[in-house]
A and B are shown apart, each in its own frame.
Chain A
């Protein structure tokens, strides 16, 4: 039990502190800080010696002058990004084909004969093997090789200390957009994972600027979307130029999409800070860490474990139920058509208006839990709706795809054009965040209103952008 006098004496402590504060005057806080700084500098003078004439970190400073310079900063940034993508595009094709061959051509028949041997009913082998297993195999074959190349390179750049320089370059742009300079950091985190970027927005103190950072984080292409971009760019854009240039051109296309995302991030931040989240940008200081030689082996290990395996695991966890859903919507018939065909035919006119198609819309609905499974879902649904059926297999089964050329063939047979590819890349950048990110936004903001805005704003923008792209396209091509 607490007595009244306890409470009273506590109030007395507070009020005597208040009195003393008035007596001491306003410079009290400064006095304390001054004496701390004085002591720190005295101790440092006594204990630290810099030997030799060369200033410490003179190399770092020289490098920073170049990579954060007004004229070279951005070009260097884009070149580095392009290099990373080019290596990814160039390196991923062969292992992808190998994995597809192994997991789909070789292992799926083994599973089917196992099912026959166990006298499993056909709906069960369908759901298990042609649904869940195939989706899983597809995620591994399509996603693993680019991730295993892209993530270690990205981690090396991060370990080296380059990402804070990116933030430094971007800082003034964000401030001019009325956002916090630290948003450049949360944006860069978003290139890894949007949910992580949303959580990282905690480093921003002002609630207004934090909300802007959270809402616009989705415009950073995340891990789950890079492979979609790389694959579609390779199939539709790289194939337009001679083979020698294909890798470079596809990498350039992916960089263009990533940069478009940054532009959207800035424009939306500016729009928000001029309308619903009005206010001035607050100042902050960003310390550029020294460059550190990356530890190669450790980086390879952590990026494989932390990112590749993590993202792959997430994709697999979401892919299996999605595979089941895909098989079911493809095999449950209402009237003379399956549910999937009903939806695709119903959505097609609307989707084509935006330069997309019914398959893409259905894939984005099935793939809300994880962006990682969009491409496998699209491929499975395309195979089904275009009635490209492998001999002896039922509907909803994946075609055998040993290489990117086969994937491209399937998409073209499904009625895809260069325009569909470009629009898919744009829509992959501009659509709702994955369910994990949506949940994280809700947890971080505690507000349904802002969560809804962050969810629907990108979809609306994506549809508008795809619509205009399509109209302009038709204007010049027909």
Chain B
């Protein structure tokens, strides 16, 4: 008899530990691709291990993920591939680890980019988050290390932060798995289009700059229809980023953008 009575918790979409199937390494034919980006030592690899069941070595150690690691999981019958990117402070310079992260978000076109941030150092972490929101429209902010923030009497207004950034913000402390279910759910909602992000875009005060950006992004769109982040590419082009110039010169940029198959290797 008692099995007929469904507990409220079970109806709540957050009650879904059973819905998570960890796939470990090498998932195939995935529905969505998720990128984990963020500053060094914010716990990206811990989130990655939580999702995939893999045992990527984690450590209290900035810069321990040098190249990207990949794994997979199934959540609510959808197959996800997760890519753990090296931690970076920005996407604007040219060091190897930053290029790996930037090129993946830009050209790998993940369906959702999870920005893992350190709740105790939010301002510095937001610098990178804002740069990521310049390149991609679909992102979730994982406000990690909330346990430490609490210990240090740091309070964060989650709703206001989400409103400012225009993306879901999930407080978490990945080490103790707190907030992981909510994060999986937020990723699902953004990936499936249930939640439409309206990401914060940086507005420059320079009119000349804005004019140049819109002109060049217009040219880019004409040549590469469907290019998802023309504004950002235009900005990088204005800065003289040699890898972007090369991608345009060879036409490589175009082949990466339109109608990408999710099953394709990235």
Q: Which of A9, A185, A200, A292 is the one whose CB lies under 8 Å from B223?
A: A9
- Give the complex CA separation of A295 and B60 in angstroms: 12
Q: Is B165 an interface residue (CB 8 A)?
A: yes
- Give the complex CA separation of A7 and B240 in angstroms: 19
Rounded to whole Å, the gap between the CB of A99 and the closest CB of chain B is 26
Are A49 and B155 within 8 A (Cβ)?
Answer: yes
What chain B residues lie within 8 Å of A9 (beta carbons)?
223
- Give the complex CA separation of A308 and B173 in angstroms: 28
Nearest opposing residue in chain A for B245, CB measure: A14
Nearest opposing residue in chain B for A44, CB measure: B123
Are B126 and A289 within 8 A (Cβ)?
Answer: no
> Interface residues of A: mostly helix, strand, loop or mixed?
helix
Q: Is B156 an interface residue (CB 8 A)?
A: yes
Q: Is B203 an interface residue (CB 8 A)?
A: yes
Give A15-57 as 1s and 0s: 1 = Cβ < 8 Å from B's Cβ atoms: 0111011011000110111011101110110111111101011
- Give the complex CA separation of A13 and B230 in angstroms: 12
Contact of A47 with B157 at beta-carbon distance under 8 Å, contacts A13-B220, A205-B96, A290-B148 already known: yes
- Give the complex CA separation of A276 and B126 in angstroms: 42
Are A39 and B130 within 8 A (Cβ)?
Answer: yes
Are A47 and B156 within 8 A (Cβ)?
Answer: yes
Q: Is B92 an interface residue (CB 8 A)?
A: yes
What chain A residues lie within 8 Å of B226 (beta carbons)?
none
Rounded to whole Å, the gap between the CB of A192 and the closest CB of chain B is 9
Contact of A13 with B248 at beta-carbon distance under 8 Å, contacts A185-B63, A202-B96 already known: yes
Nearest opposing residue in chain B for A301, CB measure: B55
Nearest opposing residue in chain B for A13, CB measure: B219
Within 8 A of B (CB), among A337-389: none
Within 8 A of B (CB), among A140-177: 158-161, 163-164
Nearest opposing residue in chain A for B148, CB measure: A290
Q: Is A203 an interface residue (CB 8 A)?
A: yes
Are A160 and B60 within 8 A (Cβ)?
Answer: yes
Q: How many residues of A contact B (CB 8 A)?
A: 62
Are B126 and A49 within 8 A (Cβ)?
Answer: no
Contact of A43 with B41 at beta-carbon distance under 8 Å, contacts A10-B251, A33-B92, A205-B96 already known: no
Q: Is A105 an interface residue (CB 8 A)?
A: no
Contact of A57 with B152 at beta-carbon distance under 8 Å, contacts A21-B238, A40-B126 already known: yes
Q: Is A2 an interface residue (CB 8 A)?
A: yes
**Total CB contacts across the A-B interface at under 8 A:** 173
Contact of A49 with B148 at beta-carbon distance under 8 Å, contacts A21-B240, A164-B62 already known: no
Are A31 and B209 within 8 A (Cβ)?
Answer: yes
Q: Which of A18, A158, A302, A305 is the one whose CB lies under 8 Å from B61?
A: A158
Contact of A292 with B148 at beta-carbon distance under 8 Å, contacts A35-B202, A158-B59 already known: yes
- Give the complex CA separation of A18 and B148 in angstroms: 47
What chain A residues lie within 8 Å of B205 (beta carbons)?
31, 35
What chain B residues lie within 8 Å of A287 (beta carbons)?
40-41, 62
- Give the complex CA separation of A103 and B223 in angstroms: 71
Give A188-228 as 1s and 0s: 1 = Cβ < 8 Å from B's Cβ atoms: 00000000000110110100000000000000000000000
Are B215 and A16 within 8 A (Cβ)?
Answer: yes
Rounded to whole Å, the gap between the CB of B84 and the closest CB of chain A is 15
- Give the complex CA separation of A302 and B164 in angstroms: 39
Are B175 and A295 within 8 A (Cβ)?
Answer: yes
What chain B residues lie within 8 Å of A43 (beta carbons)?
126, 161, 164-165, 200
- Chain B residues with CB under 8 Å of chain A are 40-41, 55, 57-64, 66-67, 92, 95-97, 120, 122-124, 126-127, 129-131, 148, 152-157, 160-161, 164-165, 175, 200, 202-206, 208-209, 212, 215-216, 219-220, 223, 234-235, 237-240, 245, 248-249, 251
- Chain A residues with CB under 8 Å of chain B are 2, 6-7, 9-14, 16-18, 20-21, 23-24, 28-29, 31-33, 35-37, 39-41, 43-44, 46-52, 54, 56-57, 158-161, 163-164, 182, 185, 199-200, 202-203, 205, 286-287, 289-292, 295, 302, 305-306
CB-based closest 4 A-B pairs? A44-B123, A40-B126, A56-B152, A20-B212
Q: List 20 A-B contacts (CB under 8 A).
A: A16-B215, A18-B240, A21-B240, A23-B208, A23-B212, A33-B92, A39-B200, A46-B157, A47-B157, A48-B154, A49-B156, A50-B154, A56-B152, A159-B60, A160-B60, A163-B59, A185-B63, A202-B66, A302-B58, A306-B55
